[in-house]
Amino acid sequence: MSTLTPDTSTIQAADFKSDIHNDWCPGCGDFGVVSAVQMALAKLQVPPHRVAVISGIGCAGKTAHYMNAYSFHTLHGRVMPSVTAMKLANHDLTVIGVGGDGDAYGIGGGHFVAGGRRNLDITYVVMNNDVYALTKGQASPTIAKGQKTKSMSEASIMDAINPILLALACGYTFVARGYALDTKYLSEIIAQAIQHRGSALVDVLQTCPTYNDLHTKGFYAGQIEGQPRLYRLDQSGYDPVVHNPDDAVEIAQKKAQALLKSQEPGGRIPLGVYYKLDVPTYEDHLKAKIPGLQQKPLAELDLYHRDITANLQELM
Amino acid sequence: MAAHFCWMIGGPQGSGLNVSAEIFAKALSRSGYYVFGQIEYHSNIKGKHSAYKLRISDEPVASHVDAVHLLSSLDEETLIGDLYHEFPAHRGHVHEVAAGGAILYDVEQKRFVGTIQRKDIFLWEMPYAELLDRALTEAGKPGQARAYRIMTNTLALGASAGAVGFDFEPVATAIRDSFGAKAGKVADLNVNAARYAYEYAKERFAGQLRFSLPAAPAKREQIMVKGTQAVGMAKIKAGVGLQTYYPISPATDESVYLEGYQSEQNLLVLQTEDEVSAIDAAVMGAHGGVRASTSTSGPGFSLMPEGLGFAAITEAPGPVVMLYQRGGPSTGLPTRQEQGDLLFALHAGQGDIPRIVMAPGDIEECFYDTFDAFNYADRYQLPVIVLVDKHLASCYQTLPPFKTSHLKIDRGVTKLANTNGDYQRYAFTEDGVSPRSVPGQAGGIFWSTSDEHDPRGHITEGIGNRLAMMEKRMGKVGLAAREIPEGKKYRFFGPAAPQRIPVLAVCWGSTKGAMHDALHRADPHHTRCAALHIRLMNPFPAEAVKNILARAERVVCFDGNYSGQLAQVIRADTGVSIHHCVVKYDGRPFSEDEIMVALEAAKADAPERLVISQGRVVEEGHGNREFEEMLVLRGSNPKMLAPMVPLPPGYNK
Ligand SMILES: Cc1ncc(C[n+]2csc(CCOP(=O)(O)OP(=O)(O)O)c2C)c(N)n1
């Protein structure tokens, strides 16, 4: 996150609410996610006009409209290219990408991969409900083999993508998972993701009461062998942080640990931060290369009085 | 009367023939000549055939010609074609040499020279290895000519300059410059090798050609520039902040050019994961407050219509999309010329997308149109496509340095005052353009969506709003039509109205250079033939075009594509049908001679459609016959091996 001088008046979560009617289904997990984003921003005291929210297409994609911030409801799967350019145009903004699992890991898969490699200082919140909700519940890339929601005509015969694994492989330097109906904890995770300098993925388990009858509120609230299905990594002695970013062995170990956690046998699901690595961001590298960026964001530089005499002379 | 000399160098890719040609061009340009360079090359790194032509003139030139006066051959393929191939692609360049012209070849090609049937040209043999050895010996490397044979291109350059009687000094200087600051010993070695070849050729061959280099005109300040460089410079001047791209021929050179100026000019070049990302990032860069552009070719543009529509419906101030056309469909002819994407550029994307489509006709127009494109993007808040092509991208021309003092940047209507939360990004206004704010600005928060939306940017499917928003967006194209000066929409070379025009040649894009030169040669006062070059494709200058067409007895429309795409646009926008469509889809640009040939052929009783290739009008079935002929040739020539480009000396050490 960028260093900003907060307004003198304190910023509330409500300041990030837009005043339009929300048309998500009653009981949709997305409500919790939007609230969590708003709470996180309030917690960090970022003024709304210093925030850009960029969402994809789908139910989750409508998030941009429900936020009071510079909001872009873009194209299906194209959140990452848009987030990237917004951050490049103005690296002082807090830039948050939001989208569904189909959006992020399906049609946007290639962009998701590239986004991890770049390590821009951005946050990507993915509302993972295992279905393409807005097109009425077809299987999404996160539905497991053999599973069939009531909206699907037959069980999936493909393996599911594991977003945590994928993010680790792509180079996201902050990888976390939250649960939409635990809004308070989710907002803490999102706040950490925003504060993290680098590309942060927050995969959010999100209930879809209309199409997903497998992964419901009851499912997530359930127990496995007397233990709650969902539990917090930070309450189980797990340390996600790479303490010495120059130590390739530690990086590999912390990734391996996250990798194992993301595939916990037995069906328990850890919530919280799986992995965190602090290394220079894409912007840091750009600033080293492009002197103007050390002074101001690109959009604020005067690029309109350039002289091309030298360019012409080179061709003489 | 203008005089010109046409030199060509042919050889395998990776042999440095393009370097030699460009060094020669620079030396000539600095000596006062006007030069037009045209390169043909394969989609291949090493080994496949390439040929580079320089037209050297005592008057400004903007096109190439077919007849070669001196051919410098770096390999046997230049002489007889790729007859090692199962299905040969070409028969070499001997037939392109004009009677009284000459071929400079390496003694190693002797075996193949024997098969040349022509008695009307000079065949000049060069002992390149021997001459190179002399230079190497002087540099303390005797007997290493084989290891250094990658330098043959430099000797060929020296020999060419000697054979045409050009001075050596400018060549030597240009060779040194090509090594940049690190000149030193390698540059000396190259200059020496070139000098030995120069002296050898000058002594034996100079003065024998039927053609000679015209007398050099007085020196003046001029640049040697390619289309991609002109576009790159225009973008820098226009204040581009973000350029996105995914590598593709023939567009990449422009982005690579810009990459070289990132630190100096505070500009950011982003290589994206694909062209979908390239355009989306450019759109969001524009929303984010910087001037943004992307640059691609057909296969990349095929991935961009989605982003184009997004830019249009969210009324982004841009991006500027450079579309370098090449032979299609699909991967097609990656490094060859075609003007096949006119209709695609006009129609790409679902629904009615407001857009501006420009088509500069030469390198100067590339510069000025690209500059204007950013102003249009900001002024009208829509995507602007600039259609260029492989020919414009890679041709190399002497021009006066671009003038920039009159260029003005117009960032359009921006919202600066604090509006206390009632700001509407998509407010209905008289001219359809809503003041835009930039993220980060207090009081300027807005919503933006790829869905249809209300003035605040929130989704609505209401009928009244839909009508108004469609009219707002599409109306901006009409506004552009009213505001863009006529002189930037088309150029007419001919008599003033109401005088009748016996023959009107219509063309677009890069055909302009050849058209201009052809008419300058054949009918400079346009008593028989006038020309209309169309430069703005959307909004199309329909009224003006219609009025000019109405004065013509016969209209001949030139299209570098199969289906006569400009003729289709003219018919659609003016209701006027063209008498003759001259089309060319062989992957090569129109030459000056081809324009003349086509105009000759397009008589009243000629067919409606004339296909031009390799300097003439060809009839149906021509391609098949030529293909068969080539197979026969393959059988009748000595066995040849596929060219191998040597590695630089010491590469494997
Ligand atoms: C290119 C493209 N293809 C298909 C669609 C149709 N479409 C709209 S939303 C959607 C799926 C959304 O699923 P997801 O991203 O998981 O978000 P959710 O609706 O579940 O929140 C699809 C396929 C589209 N808008 N664009």
Tell me the pLDDT tens digit for each residue of B394-408: 999 999 999 999 999
Output the residue whose Cα is nearest ligand 1's atom 22.
A135
| A306·B409 Cβ contact <8 A | no
Strand order of the β-sheet with B396-399 is B122-126, B97-106, B68-73, B4-12, B49-57, B34-40, B396-399, B223-226
**Residue B546: its pLDDT value, please?**
98
- Chain A residue numbers touching B229 (CB-CB < 8 A): 311, 315
CATH code for the domain in which residue A128 is found: 3.40.50.970
Confidence of residue A271 (pLDDT cuts 50, 70, 90): very high
Classify B10 as helix, strand or coil: strand
CA distance B503 to B511: 17
- For chain A, strand residue ranges (E) read 51-55, 70-73, 94-100, 123-128, 131-132, 138-139, 174-179, 200-205, 223-224, 227-228, 230-232, 269-276
A290 touches B at CB < 8 Å = yes
Number of A/B CB contacts below 8 angstroms equals: 196
- What residues make up the domain containing A66? 13-289
Is the pLDDT reported for residue B465 higher than 90?
yes
Residue of B nearest to A7 (CA): B442
Residue range A89-107, pLDDT digits in tens: 999 999 999 999 999 999 9
Beta strands A94-100 and A174-179 are unpaired
- Atom 16 in ligand 1: which residue has the minimum CA distance? A102
Cis omega before residue B88 (within 30°)?
no
pLDDT at B2: 81
pLDDT in tens, B290-317: 999 999 999 999 999 999 999 999 999 9
Q: Which residues of B341-361 are buried (b: 16+ CB within 10 A; e: fewer)?
A: bbbbbbebbeeebbbbbbbbb
Q: What are phi and psi of A197, to 5 degrees?
A: -85, 100
Return mean pLDDT, chain B.
Answer: 96
pLDDT at A7 over 70: no
Please state, in angstroms and rounded to a whole number, the distance separating the CA atoms of residues B363 and B360. 8
The structure tokens listed for B111 are 């075996």
* Among the partner residues A70, A88, A308, nearest to B404 by beta-carbon distance: A308
In this predicted structure, the answer to whether residue B354 has a pLDDT above a threshold of 80 is yes
* Confidence category of residue B418, pLDDT binned at 50, 70, 90: low
Alpha carbon dihedral A255, A260, A261, A267, in 10-degree steps, equals 160
- Fold of the CATH domain B4-205: Pyruvate-ferredoxin Oxidoreductase; domain 3 (3.40.920)
User: Per-residue pLDDT averaged across B206-224, rounded?
Assistant: 96
CA distances from A76 to A253, B209, B447, B635 (A): 35, 65, 17, 57
Homologous superfamily in CATH for domain B224-399: Thiamin diphosphate (ThDP)-binding fold, Pyr/PP domains (3.40.50.970)
The pLDDT of residue A2 is above 80: no
pLDDT (average), residues A121-128: 98
Reading the block at residue A126, the tokens are: 């993915």
Is the pLDDT at A3 greater than 50? The verdict is no
Residue B414 is predicted with a pLDDT of: 85
Q: Are A248 and A254 in contact, with CB atoms under 8 Å apart?
A: no
pLDDT mean over B90-103 = 97
pLDDT in tens, B13-64: 999 999 999 999 999 999 999 999 999 999 999 999 999 999 999 999 999 9
Which of B451, B450, B422 lies closest to B437 in space, CA to CA? B422
Q: Where are the domains of chain B?
A: 4-205, 224-399, 413-484, 489-618
Closest to B339 (Cα-Cα) out of B355, B321, B324, B357: B324
Q: How confident is the model at residue B196 (pLDDT cuts 50, 70, 90)?
A: very high
pLDDT average, residue stretch A55-61: 98
Please judge whether A89 and B241 are an interchain contact, meaning their C-beta atoms are less than 8 angstroms apart.
yes
Grouping H, G, I as helix, E, B as strand and the rest as coil, residue B296 is strand
Contact status, residue B153 vs residue B178, Cβ threshold 8 Å: no
Q: For helices B184-205 and B128-138, give the axis angle rounded to 10 degrees.
A: 140
Per-residue pLDDT band for B415 (boundaries 50, 70, 90) equals confident
B224 neighbors B398 (Cβ within 8 angstroms)? yes
Q: What is the pLDDT of residue B181?
A: 79
Let me know if the fold of B4-205 is the same as that of B224-399. Answer: no
Q: Give, using CA atoms, the residue closest to atom 4 of ligand 1.
A: A76
pLDDT, position B406:
97
Q: Which residue, by CA, sits nearest to atom 2 of ligand 1?
A: A76
Say yes or no to pLDDT of A4 above 80: no
| B152-165: pLDDT as tens digits | 999 999 999 999 99
Q: How far apart are CA B199 and CA B651, in angstroms?
A: 31
Q: Are B393 and B38 in contact (CB under 8 A)?
A: no
| Residue recorded with tokens 């400009």 | B566
Residue B641 CA, chain-centre distance (Å), reads 32
| Residue A72 to residue B261, Cβ atoms within 8 A | no
- Supply the pLDDT for residue A6: 46
| pLDDT above 70 (res B421) | no
Instruction: Write out pLDDT tens, residues A141-177.
Output: 999 999 999 999 999 999 999 999 999 999 999 999 9
Considering the domain B489-618, what is its CATH architecture? 3-Layer(aba) Sandwich (3.40)
Give the total number of structural domains in chain A: 1
pLDDT band at B420 (very low <50, low <70, confident <90, very high): low
> Which of B5, B136, B126, B123 is closest to B61 using CA atoms?
B5
**Does a cis peptide bond (omega within 30 degrees of 0) precede residue B360?**
no
| B345 phi/psi in degrees, rounded to 5 | -65, -35
B170 cis-preceded (ω within 30 degrees of 0): no
A54 in contact with B, Cβ within 8 Å? yes
pTM, 2 dp = 0.97
CB atoms within 10 A of CB A267: 9
- Please answer whether residues B283 and B291 qualify as being in contact, where contact means their C-beta atoms are separated by less than 8 angstroms: no
Which residues touch A236 (CB under 8 Å, ≥6 apart)? A270
Q: What is the pLDDT of residue B61?
A: 97
Q: How far apart are CA B613 and CA B619, in angstroms?
A: 10
Cβ distance of B288 and A86 shorter than 8 Å: yes
Distance, in Å, from the CA atom of A141 to the CA atom of B423, rounded to the nearest integer, reads 39
CA A40–ligand 1 middle distance (angstroms): 26
- Answer yes or no: are the C-beta atoms of B544 and B595 closer than 8 Å: no
Using pLDDT thresholds of 50, 70 and 90, give the confidence band for residue B648: confident
Among B82, B79, B209, B72, which residue's Cα sits nearest to residue B152?
Answer: B72
Q: What is the DSSP code string of A119-185?
A: --S-EEEEEE-SEETTTTSEE-TTSPTT---TT-SS---SPPP-HHHHHHHHT-SEEEEEETT-HHH
Model confidence at A220: pLDDT above 60: yes
Write the pLDDT tens digit of every residue in B519-559.
Answer: 999 999 999 999 999 999 999 999 999 999 999 999 999 99
Burial string for A7-28 (b: 16+ CB within 10 Å, else e) reads eeeebebebbbbeeeeebeeeb
CA–CA distances in Å: residue A188 to residues A43, A54, B261, B552, B617 = 9, 20, 42, 75, 74
Measured between beta carbons, the chain B residues lying within 8 angstroms of A20 are: 458
Selected residues 147-206 of chain A with any CB under 8 Å from a CB in chain B: none
Residue A8 predicted with pLDDT over 60: no
Bridge-partner residues for B507, per DSSP?
B533
Which H helix or E strand runs over B534? strand B529-534
By the CB < 8 Å criterion, does A295 face chain B?
A: no
The mean pLDDT of B125-142, rounded to a whole number, is: 97
Mean pLDDT of B259-283: 98
Angstroms from A196 CA to nearest CA on chain B: 20
Rounded to an integer, what distance in angstroms lies between the CA atom of residue A301 and that of residue B180? 32
Nearest to B258 by CA among B240, B284, B272, B273: B240
> Tokens in use for B258?
């810009």
Nearest chain A CA: its distance from B98 CA (Å)? 31
CB contact under 8 A, A70 and B440: yes
